[in-house]
Structure 1
Amino acid sequence: MKVHQIKIDFNVTEQIKRFVYVYILEAESLYLIDSGVYGSETKIMDYLDSIGRNTSEIKGVFLTHAHPDHIGSAAWFREHSGCKIYASEGERLWIEDIDLQFKERPIPNFYNLAGKSSKVDFVV
């Protein structure tokens, strides 16, 4: 197995710049650890292409926690690869209902970072 690290730069606001890492576990199939902010899928797909792999090979996304910079592209990968989403029970509600997360923890630019809600297939 090989582990790849992708740094995703993003802006919370124009003045607040941040980054997050997405990890790809590469073996016969691919798995992501976190998915970056919404829009990260392009950078991840470009990276997969550079190593001779593609989105259809992604079998699962493991979400470490429900912050927008970690869950933003999860729904996109689920829709485009058919992969499963894994998360902890304590984070499940905020992943499956980002409106609830925004209500309980509003941050600037939330919806542009978080994308949309994603069904959790397996609780770990």
Structure 2
Amino acid sequence: MTTLPTPAGAQPHGGRLHVDPDRPTVLRAEGEIDIDVVHTFAEQLGVDEIAAGRTLAAAGVEEVDLSGATFIDSSAIALLVSIAPHRRPERLRVRGATGAPLMTLQVTGLDAVLDLVPAEG
């Protein structure tokens, strides 16, 4: 498993993506996850947005924790979709999606492709 950097510094638009240093198989999303947040995160990984999912999967990311996300846009959806095929035959787990992020996953039909699990609690 490759160790990924944990992005530090300003959080564009109040959102942040980071690999949990205590659980490196978990990508955490906090706040509003939009194209600026995804772009900044991909830059911090040293790749473009298209390669970010493959890079995360190669590093061992198995789960995306959306319990801290208040909004996700199409770039966040694209990131999830780009991780998922690299997890086969397992499915990518998405934990804690509620509110607008959950509705986005349901409206796009991704709830049928991803394993949605409730937040740990």
TM-score band (shorter)? 0.5 to 0.7
Structure 2 length-normalised TM:
0.52
State how many pairs are aligned.
93
1:61 paired residue among 36, 61, 64: 64
Letter in 1 for 2:66: L
1:86 paired residue among 89, 95, 98: 95
The answer for the alignment partner of 1:41 in structure 2 is: 38
2:77 paired residue among 62, 75, 78: 75
Shift of 1:26: 4.8
Gapped regions of structure 1 (runs ≥ 5)? 11-18, 99-115
Gapped regions of structure 2 (runs ≥ 5)? 48-53, 85-91
Q: CA 1:2–1:81 in 2, change beyond 3 Å: closer, same or farther?
A: closer
CA contact (8 A) 1:4 1:25 kept: yes
SS of the equivalent of 1:22 reads strand
CA contact (8 A) 2:17 2:28 kept: yes
The structure with the largest helix share of the pair is 2
> Aligned pair 1:96/2:102, yes or no?
yes
- Structure 1 distance, partners of 2:82, 2:4, is 23
Structure 1 length-normalised TM:
0.52
The structure with the largest strand share of the pair is 1
Shift of 1:59: 1.9
CA contact (8 A) 2:4 2:45 kept: no
* Aligned CA-pair RMSD: 3.7
CA contact (8 A) 1:3 1:25 kept: no
CA contact (8 A) 1:31 1:60 kept: yes
